[in-house]
């Protein structure tokens, strides 16, 4: 997890605490909205990911925010102070990290299987 936090912090120009919260929020979103078995395989490859998801308060659904889905994810990330450009940088770096951990094909299945996510890949 520390490696991923460091990569996201540098890539998006954010501090480590925000990077960790962002990871938890995005992984929780993927778990809820994407192909759960494939997302779980990714989460299992990132030590500390479960704790980050739990700490983000995103273990459950984002459905109560702005109708749910990608809009709710964006709203929650903007609540951390991230702008659209930073969110895109974080998403791209997280997907690159995912490809390194579970392979490009499996990460591609997560992206393709999560509504609206391909625009950030």
CATH number at residue 91: 1.10.490
Give the global pTM. 0.89
- pLDDT band at 67, cuts 50/70/90? low
> How far apart are alpha carbons 73 and 22 in whole angstroms?
10
Task: Using pLDDT thresholds of 50, 70 and 90, give the confidence band for residue 77.
Answer: very high
Contact status, residue 89 vs residue 97, Cβ threshold 8 Å: no
Number of domains forming the structure of the chain: 1
Is 48 among the domain residues? yes
Is the confidence at residue 121, as pLDDT, over 80? no
Helix H or strand E encompassing 104: helix 104-112
**What residues contact residue 61 under an 8 Å CB cut-off, 6+ apart?**
32, 68
- b or e along 69-97 (b: 16 or more beta carbons within 10 Å of the residue's beta carbon)? bbebbbebbeebebeeebbebbbebbbeb
Whether residue 97 is predicted with pLDDT greater than 60 in this model: the reply is: yes
Q: Tell which residue, 121, 101, 116, has the closest CA to residue 34.
A: 116
63 lies in some domain = yes
* Residue 121 belongs to some domain of the structure: no
3-state secondary structure of 34: coil
Residue 71: give the domain boundaries.
2-115
Mean pLDDT of 47-67: 72
pLDDT, averaged across the chain: 88
Q: Minimum mean pLDDT among 11-15, 46-50, 62-66, 88-92: which range?
A: 62-66
């Amino acid at each position: 997890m520390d490696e991923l936090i460091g990569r996201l912090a540098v890539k998006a120009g954010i501090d480590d605490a925000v990077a960790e919260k962002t990871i938890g929020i995005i992984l929780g979103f993927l778990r809820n909205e994407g192909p759960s078995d494939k997302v779980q395989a990714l989460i299992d490859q990132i030590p500390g990911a479960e704790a980050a998801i739990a700490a983000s308060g995103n273990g459950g659904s984002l459905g109560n925010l702005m109708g749910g889905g990608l809009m709710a994810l964006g709203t929650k990330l903007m609540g951390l102070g991230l702008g659209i450009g930073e969110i895109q940088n974080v998403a791209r770096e997280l997907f690159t990290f995912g490809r390194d951990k579970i392979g490009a094909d499996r990460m591609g299945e997560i992206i393709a299987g999560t509504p609206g996510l391909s625009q950030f890949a």
